[in-house]
Chains A and B, each alone.
Chain A
Amino acid sequence: MQKVYNKQIMRGVNLTCVKAEKFKTGCLSITLMTQLDKKTAAMNAMLPNVLRRGTARLPDMESIAAELDNMYGVRIEPALRKKGEIQCIGFYADFPDDAFLPHGKNILEKTADLIGEMLLQPATSGGRLKAEYVDSERENLISDIKAEINDKRVYASMRLTEMMFKGERYGVSRLGSLHDAGKITVHSLTRHYKELISTAAIQVFYCGAADPEYVEQIVRGSLSTLPRTDVSDMPSTEVSTEEWTAPVKYLTEKMDVTQGKLVMGYRLGEAMRQPDHAALMVFNAVFGGAVTSKLFMNVRERLSLCYYASSGVDRLKGIMKVSSGIEFSKYNEALSEIQRQLESVKNGEILPLEMEGAKKAVITAIYSALDEPGGLESLYLDKSILGLPVDPSDLAPMVSEVTVDQVAKIASCAKLDSVYFLTGEDDDA
């Protein structure tokens, strides 16, 4: 098993290192943890893209590109993620290990330095972020928000989140709203940037062959000018733990599509009070997360009610979404069948194949993620948000111990909150 090293290296800056020699590439991410909020979501979403445009030393994309090419095509990409009610923004880099490059030396150090420059010494004009970059990235953000409609599966899921969490933080999109994006100015973004960089809690993650002590020294160097006088606490995500009793909300929208998308949102309520993460993962795999699940085996395979039907739990918010692609006319049938399947989990009607298949799928997923730099990065970011005491690799043995009763208990806490249906223009359902 890989060695994991975790340390606060500066005020509000936490470094996690996974030393592993088997990978051909290393990865380094630097992530600013900010509270997801309607007022700042769009600004946060575009900030990494603006910072990626140019630094004081490398003032435009072309000079950055030349530098990255000479470092054997290191990728430094703006990263934007919604984790519960936290908006994680920053940079994710991956780079070939020096050992496999003919003239590659200190690629890690050069990468860390370049990310540090992007974060701390952006290209400016008159003390502000460059207007040209802000204007152009605002337009890009606007077109990204408009393009959210392109993938109907993702779009339907996003619409469900909006209706289910109207007025709540979690209902805010990862990219923010069109309205808020349109209002961003050089002035407002510069002010926001300065505040963020001096206050935000920061997670740094490295995975690769280098020694943790060396990584720490390099990261300290690249962030040496980071202002840390006024650091905020790590933002938190509010997990809903109340039993949900409100009537179910329904929304149907029409669009020029040939396949309907049905999305259902559940609140897990009490099951999230002292969540058993291993049991939650097994529950999701039994119900709709695995190929051996109730939804896949029954709604799709046995009844042919849909092309896909799957569930996903967001443990950072305490909810579950069921997502399905169906013919327009199958709406009622699919809706009631999905609920019937959840009912059977609640009643503990779980076949040995379903239970074992679910556990094994979860264990494979955990171990596989540990074999990929990107998978490791995401697991450790979640761990830092949840404040989980266990290492991701310790979860696997706990998964084997989960019982049918535990799974049934979680199912009985799940309460349907909202149903969204995207249907065709000429459908009268």
Chain B
Amino acid sequence: MLRLFEYGKIGECAWRDELPNGLRMCVVPKPGYRKKMAFFATNYGGADRKFMLADDWIETPAGVAHFLEHKMFDVEDSENALTTLSGRGAAANAFTASNMTAYHFECTDMFYENLELLLKFVSTPYFTKDSVEKEQGIIAQEIKMVEDEPDYAVYYGLIRSLYNSNPVRDPVAGSVESIKSIDPDLLYNCHRVFYTPSNMVLVTVGDVDPVKIRDLALNILPEYNFPPAKRDYGDSEDDQPNTLHFEKEMEVGAPIFLAGAKTKAGLSGEDMLRFELTASLALSVLMGRGSPLYSQMYSEGLVNDTFYYDFESTAGVSFLSFGGESQNPEQVCLRVLDEAERLVTSGVEQKFFARRQRAAYGHEIRGLNSFDNICYNVAVAGFNRYDYFKTIDVLESITAEDVRRFLAKYLRPELLAISTVRCVRGERDV
């Protein structure tokens, strides 16, 4: 049954339901907005390569989830759902991450017709040998395009340094080689296993009617309720990185780097939310825009405004990272570790912690303006069984001591791997 949850403090509410087929849906009303957004996602991504089908473990090549995403837009009679949605003026798209594939559109007109099509094409596979072969060419181009991006190279350099065997090591889109073995049968199988309603969430945001949305989902989606498939991400890995350094030369104007460390994985529910918020707050205290360390490093020219930090939790792994452009990445890492040690030893000063926490509060409020952000976070929360709209309550309950403990545990020299992309042939003349 549709139930309304209200969050007075942040001025939001949400209608939620879990349908008999296991689909979890959430409608976030936004009165006064003309645009509307729908986001239909499956808890299946690039890292879900080995899984149980009937009683057998199946292994699939890198890039299937992403390939499937491309092919799902095909509907019978050489029609394409993306063209139909676009023809109605909807801005439709899809993306594949290591733990999720999502299909979404934003529109200002014909919302329910568009939603009907979204639910239909995502739940109805249609692949032919020809169309799969043609897509191999298109995706090979996409893979080549990202291979020229230094940010992509530095990111996978870090992931491969951190992890020894986990499938997150391979790019979500796979490689030109790995996608060659994909055929219609494989796509049908993966669709059957992972696009079951119980493995999916539907999020809609805007001035929309929750009852109409639920009825559409009930009518269009399959009735069966299979439990989501078991998957295997390989052996559990050490706390230590696989290797401490990765380096590559590319056509860049200034060297870029990304350093990172593995953190606790496998959490779910509110524990996961709490851990993520603690991690983000700890990193913000240590090296965020409002921290003394950032100001010092920026003033010395060690980092510039491309410097950032991040915390990511996906497919059985979680890690922290920080990076950007720098002439001396090793020095940045040393300074970060030194400052972490200082905070761990002397404790995080309460007044300083309180103002960083306040900034994080404002950041969460700001996120509620963005339909994309709401859809994505509600979906992630749905897969991991917590309530995204309680983020601020959890954030307020985190203490300076929680942050200190996080830094003590994860910001240590032996845990930190560093990936660097340097300029080919030294400096380039522009």
**Chain A residues close to B by CB (< 8 Å):** 20-25, 49, 60-62, 65-66, 68-74, 94-97, 99-102, 132, 136, 139-140, 143-152, 178, 255-259, 290-292, 297, 300-301, 304, 306-308, 325-327, 353, 356-357, 359-361, 363-365, 367-368, 370-373
Contact = CB atoms under 8 A, between A and B. Distances in A.
Nearest to B34: A367
B251 A256 contact: yes
Given A62-B292, A65-B289, A364 B365 contact: no
Greatest chain A CB density within 10 A among B289, B356, B359 is at B359
Nearest to B87: A357
A137 B353 CA distance: 29
Given A258-B144, A292-B86, A327-B141, A150 B252 contact: yes
Interface residues of B, number: 70
A21 B32 CA distance: 9
Nearest to A255: B251
B325 interface: yes
Given A146-B430, A258-B147, A95 B362 contact: yes
B182 to A, nearest CB: 17
A304 B305 CA distance: 38
B82 interface: yes
A360 B251 CA distance: 40
A21 B89 CA distance: 26
B110 to A, nearest CB: 9
Contacts, number: 196
A68 B88 contact: no
Greatest chain B CB density within 10 A among A25, A99, A359 is at A25
A143 B304 contact: yes
Given A25-B369, A149-B253, A371-B35, A364 B87 contact: no
B106 A368 contact: yes
Contacts of B88: 357, 360
A3 B90 CA distance: 26
Contact of B359 (A23, A69, A148, A372): A69
Nearest to A362: B89
Greatest chain B CB density within 10 A among A24, A144, A152, A327 is at A24
Contacts of A325: 141, 145
Nearest to A103: B358
B343 interface: no
B365 A25 contact: yes
Contacts of B107: 364
Contacts of A148: 253, 430
A25 B309 CA distance: 24
A143 B10 CA distance: 41
B148 A69 contact: no
A259 B141 contact: yes
30 contacts: A22-B31, A61-B298, A62-B292, A65-B290, A65-B291, A66-B290, A69-B358, A73-B359, A96-B365, A96-B366, A101-B365, A102-B9, A140-B301, A143-B325, A147-B306, A149-B428, A150-B150, A152-B148, A152-B149, A257-B251, A258-B145, A259-B145, A259-B147, A291-B82, A327-B141, A364-B107, A364-B109, A367-B108, A368-B106, A371-B33
Interface string B380-403: 000000000000000000000000
A147 B325 contact: yes
